[in-house]
Structure 1
Amino acid sequence: MPSLKTLSSNRSLILLLLSLIFATGIGLRAFHHSDWLILKSDQARDAIILDEALENGFSRLPLLGPEAGSTGFRLGPLSYYFQYVSGLLFGQTIESLAYPDLVFGILAIPAIIALLRLFTPLPLALFGGALASVSFFLITFSRFAWNPNPLPFFTAAFAWSFLSALKAPEQQRRFFLLLSVLLLGAIAHLHLVALVSLCIGLSLFVVFTRVLTIREIILGLCIFLACQFPVFLSEYRTHGDNFHSFIGATLGDRYQDTEHGWHEKFWRAYQEGSQALWILATGRQDTESIQTRGWSLSCPSRCQATLPMTLGALTFFTTIITLSLLSLRRLSRDERKPLLFILLWTGSFFLVTVFVAYEIEVRYYLGIIPAFFVLIMQSTLVISRYFRSLSTILGLLFIGCLMILSNIEASYTFLDELNRSQFSAQDSRRDLRFGTEPKVTLGQLRAIARGAEARFAKETPVVISGESHYVKSLYVVLTQEFGFHGCYLRGTHRTLPQNWHHIYIEEPAKHPELEPFGTLGAHFEPRKETAGMSPLPNNCLTY
């Protein structure tokens, strides 16, 4: 393969390709970042918390981070720290809260390239970087603020630093091990499933290979626990409330699924894994789960319509895992250690998802994405070395180009729908964050706020009601950026005290009488000048 060797030795060409990869990745993640920013209830909650901290100091940040699902258990506060620093650097604006996720989304590209370079020749590592650059999966989760979003960077950086430590000289080994422990401590603040699966895989790897000394393990554990200081402080002050919430969630009905047998959970988790890998590789969401009823399979009409793609995703997933396992057998003892770590990590993640197979969401896979990249590239390397022919190389190159083009198409469609959401109520396709919901962005909420500014006097409070996903978001925009004050109500409340301004928001497709603002409609009702004073409506919220 002389052309690949030429590429590896041509520094100018490498720099050109890297520049193209990074420029494309930055553009797809940063294009119209503010106007097309997703701002739902979770992001509005963070905006309220950070506004208070930026006004009154770092000590006003909570000791715990966002809630994990609806379990009552809360993660560490690292995501709030990132947002706080961003607010200090870039100003007290709503979009500044999303800058850390944008930055980590961009940094995930070189982190993935560096990780792949430990396993594959430079051309394959660059292809992996190109795929990460245009990945619909990664782009989607880089364009809004959410605590799991930085996981691809942190898990890729952890795997790279830990594996680099295994073959580094003593001085560098200490640095890489320290870096990997700090990164693992950060991951503990971002997502529980990512942490648990990575710790299980790491523990198994250390036990099987004995690559760490007892001293290194103890010291690493101490540093990791030190990274959780805010969580421990909160537990001390609340007498272990968060831990009790974790135990209650673990032993509660939500994760004690008695309706499905273990074989059903295994099958469901396997399908979910194949769909996540398929989305990563192609950007396509054209698969559906094949349902189980005991030991029988069921494929309703919607499943049948996508059955070829579903089977293709399952075949692709199985092939990638099989080829990676086969390549493990062909490597020497020292060479197989990095790949063994990736496989143990992936296997541990799969086992964890079996327990929550019917609760899995796409975000669960953010932490395992770097391992998926390694397995895809490792499988490609196995095929290219086993079938040493020009036709094989051209075939792999053709498939690789299709994967990149398919992701570009999916990413373009996603961005185009974010653009159209500003002025059109047209239904959009399903995506990784919104599902089948209409897309609503910060640009639309600001347009509604400008409409309120033109109609309402700011001395009078405003009550916002309607679409529950966005009433808090509009409240944040009105109060933090436009100087209004008031409160919000979830759900329909068309009859309210007349001495308050009222904004009612809903989907215009369901309420054509509303003034359209793209995929969100609004009705503005100014206060009645003759109305007397009345108290706040019941359940009207400001937090």
Structure 2
Amino acid sequence: MIALLIVIAGAIFVRVYHFDEWLYFKMDQSRDAFMLSNAVINGPEYLPLLGARVGAVKLEHGMLRLGPVYYYFQYLSGKIFDSTHPSVFAYPDLFFSIAVIPLLFLFLRLYFSRRHSLYITAMYAFSFLIIQYSRFAWNPNSLQFFIILSFYGLLRFLNDDRPKQKKWWLVLWVVGITIGSQLHFFGFFSLLGISGLLIVFHLRVWNVESLKKLFEKQALKQFLLFFLIGLGVFLVFYTPVIVSDVMKNGQNTHNFFEALGSKGQKRPLVEKIKKDITENLNYYCLLTTSSCYKNDLEKNVLPVGSTTLAMSIGLLLVLYRLRIVESKQSRDFLMLTLLWFTVFTILTIPVAFQLRPRFYIVVFAVPFILLGFLYEFLEERFGRKALFMTALITMAVLAVNIRGTVLWFAEQASAQVRTTEIDRTLILKNQDGVTLGQLQGVTDWMYARHHTGDRLYYYVKPEHVRPIGF
């Protein structure tokens, strides 16, 4: 427990260090800040019924939008802290990026030992890429928490035989899905696809006897109860979306189905698969080692090779253990991991040429979990002799990610006072190094020299017009 608290404390430090000053505040963030400030000041009736538009989907008419739950989190933050400062609207992402760490540990304990769970949690907590996605406001950022929350609730729901507790695990699972599906379009399909396939596996619907049990009177009554509970939770979080569709004659639903039928980039399937493999190798390498941030696999043979080897062995061990493990919960955990990786990989093929680091928020935990299966195998095979090896691998992963984070912090600090080449800021397209601290400094400087009543002229790049205006 003490070791976990140390990990959490360290994770909090790297997430809050110079949080306000180095906060990224670009066009999307300033657009949301204008809207949310109006709601915080004038009342919740100014909140939107729909959320951010889905950027990866191009429609002929209109645009597809997510649910508004992320805006509501930001609104609550503004009301709680009685402020409309840009950093306040980033607090929900900061909170969930910290809360996911103890939650991940609980999730891992459904299968792994306490020590292996701690190792995996520590590597996750100090991953360079995960830290970056914890330090600014963007609707996909909190998905990492709700992915784990959903899968934890689902595993407990499927394997808890106590009726009263089972209902609460169902609520937890549906809360994770309904919120997570409003944070990113990829999260929507990933959560539904993985959860649905895991339920099919758990119920063994291909088995005639298992299938017959599902249609027994008691089973049908229980299913109806679970359906009504799930529907109730769904309506709580999706009511604004439903109201919006009623008011606009189903416009967003129409856009959703148009998006499902839309075709991706016109490229051969083989070309997309090759690109998908390359992108997965690159981003899993970045996620686990903080290397490969320039998309140059040839110059990162060692980290790419190490990551690929460890994950491949982990996947093979999942398949092996599925054949020998008898515990239902352990089998569900193994299958969940396999589906988690496989479903995501399949979903990325159509958009292989559009992949960005944010897509991998869905699978932030997967490479570290696969490494945990390798740890389990080594210690079962070699006993106490492997303890040093697993600890050494964990320390190596922590070391390269802490190094990457320190270099990024140094880059951030340098960018505050001089022109700096930006290499390690991977979260946004425009890598200009401009943060909230610089924007605030510029506006303070202008206002200090501005005479009341005079018109103020200034020139900035287009992406800084709205942030400066805020």
Scaled by the length of structure 1, the TM-score of the pair is 0.77
For 1:112-261, what aligned pairs fall within 5 Å after superposition?
Answer: 112-168=104-160, 169-210=162-203, 214-215=223-224, 218-226=227-235, 227-252=237-262, 255-259=263-267, 261=268
- Report the AA paired with residue 359 of structure 2: Y
**Does the Cα contact within 8 Å between 1:287 and 1:309 map onto a contact in 2?**
no
**Does the Cα contact within 8 Å between 1:86 and 1:99 map onto a contact in 2?**
yes
The answer for the alignment partner of 2:35 in structure 1 is 49
Q: Which of 74, 84, 89 matches 2:75?
A: 84
Structure (1 or 2) with the greater helix fraction: 2
2:462 counterpart of 1:468: yes
Residue 362 of structure 1, CA deviation: 0.8
For 1:332-347, what aligned pairs fall within 5 Å after superposition?
Answer: 332=326, 334=328, 335-347=330-342
Residue 461 of structure 1, CA deviation: 5.0
**Does the Cα contact within 8 Å between 2:281 and 2:308 map onto a contact in 1?**
yes
Bigger Cα displacement from structure 2, 135-144 vs 243-252? 243-252
The answer for the alignment partner of 1:506 in structure 2 is none
Give deviations 1:7-45, integer Å, cap 9, x for gaps. xxxxxxx32x12211110111001111111110111101
- Report the AA paired with residue 152 of structure 2: W
Residue 220 of structure 1, CA deviation: 5.0
Q: Secondary structure at the match of 1:194?
A: helix
Residue 221 of structure 1, CA deviation: 4.5
Distance 1:70 1:359, change over 3 A: closer
**Does the Cα contact within 8 Å between 2:276 and 2:348 map onto a contact in 1?**
yes
Bigger Cα displacement from structure 2, 142-151 vs 433-442? 433-442
Residue 303 of structure 1, CA deviation: 4.9
Bigger Cα displacement from structure 2, 450-459 vs 415-424? 450-459
Q: Secondary structure at the match of 2:422?
A: coil
- Tell me, in whole angstroms, the C-alpha distance in 2 between the residues paired with 1:461 and 1:62: 33
The answer for the alignment partner of 1:421 in structure 2 is 415
Residue 368 of structure 1, CA deviation: 2.0
Larger RCO: Structure 1 or Structure 2 (Cα < 8 Å, ≥ 6 residues apart)?
A: 2
- Tell me, in whole angstroms, the C-alpha distance in 1 between the residues paired with 2:121 and 2:66: 30
Residue 332 of structure 1, CA deviation: 1.2
- Tell me, in whole angstroms, the C-alpha distance in 2 between the residues paired with 1:129 and 1:411: 17
Distance 1:67 1:77, change over 3 A: same
**Does the Cα contact within 8 Å between 2:408 and 2:424 map onto a contact in 1?**
no
Residue 432 of structure 1, CA deviation: 2.4
- Tell me, in whole angstroms, the C-alpha distance in 2 between the residues paired with 1:251 and 1:63: 25
- Tell me, in whole angstroms, the C-alpha distance in 2 between the residues paired with 1:265 and 1:217: 40
Structure (1 or 2) with the greater strand fraction: 1
- Tell me, in whole angstroms, the C-alpha distance in 2 between the residues paired with 1:167 and 1:187: 22
Distance 1:267 1:217, change over 3 A: farther
Residue 217 of structure 1, CA deviation: 5.1
Bigger Cα displacement from structure 2, 271-280 vs 26-35? 271-280
Give deviations 1:169-222, integer Å, cap 9, x for gaps. 222111111111112111111011112012111111212222895325522541
The answer for the alignment partner of 1:440 in structure 2 is 434
The answer for the alignment partner of 1:18 in structure 2 is 4
2:310 counterpart of 1:316: yes
**Does the Cα contact within 8 Å between 1:201 and 1:347 map onto a contact in 2?**
no
**Does the Cα contact within 8 Å between 2:174 and 2:234 map onto a contact in 1?**
no
The answer for the alignment partner of 1:409 in structure 2 is 403
- Report the AA paired with residue 105 of structure 1: S
- Tell me, in whole angstroms, the C-alpha distance in 2 between the residues paired with 1:73 and 1:427: 36
- Tell me, in whole angstroms, the C-alpha distance in 2 between the residues paired with 1:221 and 1:173: 12
- Report the AA paired with residue 63 of structure 1: L
- Tell me, in whole angstroms, the C-alpha distance in 2 between the residues paired with 1:120 and 1:62: 42
2:14 counterpart of 1:28: yes
The answer for the alignment partner of 2:65 in structure 1 is 74
**Does the Cα contact within 8 Å between 1:346 and 1:368 map onto a contact in 2?**
yes
- Tell me, in whole angstroms, the C-alpha distance in 1 between the residues paired with 2:465 and 2:334: 48
Distance 1:458 1:191, change over 3 A: farther
- Tell me, in whole angstroms, the C-alpha distance in 2 between the residues paired with 1:473 and 1:371: 35
- Tell me, in whole angstroms, the C-alpha distance in 2 between the residues paired with 1:415 and 1:123: 30
Residue 167 of structure 1, CA deviation: 2.8
Q: Secondary structure at the match of 2:374?
A: helix
**Does the Cα contact within 8 Å between 2:293 and 2:424 map onto a contact in 1?**
no
Give deviations 1:144-173, integer Å, cap 9, x for gaps. 000011111111121112212233222211
- Tell me, in whole angstroms, the C-alpha distance in 2 between the residues paired with 1:21 and 1:389: 24
**Does the Cα contact within 8 Å between 1:73 and 1:245 map onto a contact in 2?**
yes
Residue 287 of structure 1, CA deviation: 6.7
- Tell me, in whole angstroms, the C-alpha distance in 2 between the residues paired with 1:217 and 1:346: 28
- Tell me, in whole angstroms, the C-alpha distance in 2 between the residues paired with 1:220 and 1:375: 33
- Tell me, in whole angstroms, the C-alpha distance in 1 between the residues paired with 2:389 and 2:334: 25
**Does the Cα contact within 8 Å between 2:197 and 2:339 map onto a contact in 1?**
yes
Residue 245 of structure 1, CA deviation: 2.9
2:269 counterpart of 1:262: yes
For 1:370-385, what aligned pairs fall within 5 Å after superposition?
Answer: 370-385=365-380
**Does the Cα contact within 8 Å between 2:282 and 2:297 map onto a contact in 1?**
no
- Tell me, in whole angstroms, the C-alpha distance in 1 between the residues paired with 2:355 and 2:4: 35
**Does the Cα contact within 8 Å between 1:53 and 1:61 map onto a contact in 2?**
yes
Residues matched between the structures, number: 445
The answer for the alignment partner of 2:354 in structure 1 is 359
Distance 1:216 1:379, change over 3 A: farther
Residue 456 of structure 1, CA deviation: 1.8
Residue 389 of structure 1, CA deviation: 5.0
The answer for the alignment partner of 1:279 in structure 2 is 286
**Does the Cα contact within 8 Å between 1:205 and 1:344 map onto a contact in 2?**
yes
- Tell me, in whole angstroms, the C-alpha distance in 1 between the residues paired with 2:396 and 2:309: 17
- Tell me, in whole angstroms, the C-alpha distance in 2 between the residues paired with 1:58 and 1:353: 37
**Does the Cα contact within 8 Å between 2:171 and 2:230 map onto a contact in 1?**
no
- Tell me, in whole angstroms, the C-alpha distance in 2 between the residues paired with 1:370 and 1:310: 17
- Report the AA paired with residue 262 of structure 1: L
